[in-house]
Amino acid sequence: MNSIITLTLPSDLIFTRFASQTAEKAALLLLNSCDADTGNWQFTHAFELAVSEAFSNAVTYAEQHSTIQPVVITFIFEQQRLTVTIRDTNQEFSTETPAPDIDSYPERGYGLLLIRTLMDSVTCIRENNANILSMSKEV
């Protein structure tokens, strides 16, 4: 299956679950389309969790900097690979931030660690004053 689906959501945390559940369904769709094991919860949960993290990060940073614009999520289906991009117009950020030190009981900062661990590849580029976070994983 080679398809692209684009979803535009308001920059509001109330849509976090909608975004993450859509990602889970997209991953399940890919598993179905390539006759893979649809019980592969690690694959579907990876996208559910990664998109939850990326979407809530985008919304939270927009609220902090008063730059509330819609968040655009794109699902790119290629053979056995699913790529999800999250586009926001917040300030530039890096995906190279260090993992939090768990022994100091931090309440924040785990999102990128989870995304990097769960996905095969993660990139972030700055284009036309927008951040485009791209997360990809193969079945």
Partner 1 sequence: MIITETPEGCITIVALNGTLDASTAPELQKSPAINNASQTVVIDMEHVDFLDSSGLGSLIGTLRKKRNMSAETLLSCMNERISQVFEITNAHRLFHIFDDTSAAVDYATQLNSRK
- What does the binding site for partner 1 look like in residue numbers (CB under 8 A)? 13-14, 16-17, 20, 41-42, 45, 48-49, 52-53, 56, 59-60, 100, 102-103, 105-111, 113-114, 117-118
For residues 9 and 25, give the distance between their C-alpha atoms in angstroms, rounded to a whole number: 17
For residues 2 and 15, give the distance between their C-alpha atoms in angstroms, rounded to a whole number: 27
Q: How far is the CB of 78 from partner 1 (least distance, A)?
A: 26
Q: How far is the CB of 26 from partner 1 (least distance, A)?
A: 16
Residue (of 24, 25, 35) closest to 1 by Cα position: 35
Q: How far is the CB of 127 from partner 1 (least distance, A)?
A: 25
Environment class of 96 (CB within 10 Å of its CB; exposed 0-12, middle 13-18, buried 19+)? exposed
By C-beta, is 78 or 116 nearer to partner 1? 116
Q: How far is the CB of 134 from partner 1 (least distance, A)?
A: 19
User: Helix, strand, coil: what percent of the chain each, to 5?
Assistant: 40, 30, 30
By C-beta, is 7 or 24 nearer to partner 1? 24
By C-beta, is 7 or 118 nearer to partner 1? 118
First-to-final CA distance of the chain:
13
- Count the Cβ atoms, other than its own, within 10 Å of residue 119: 20
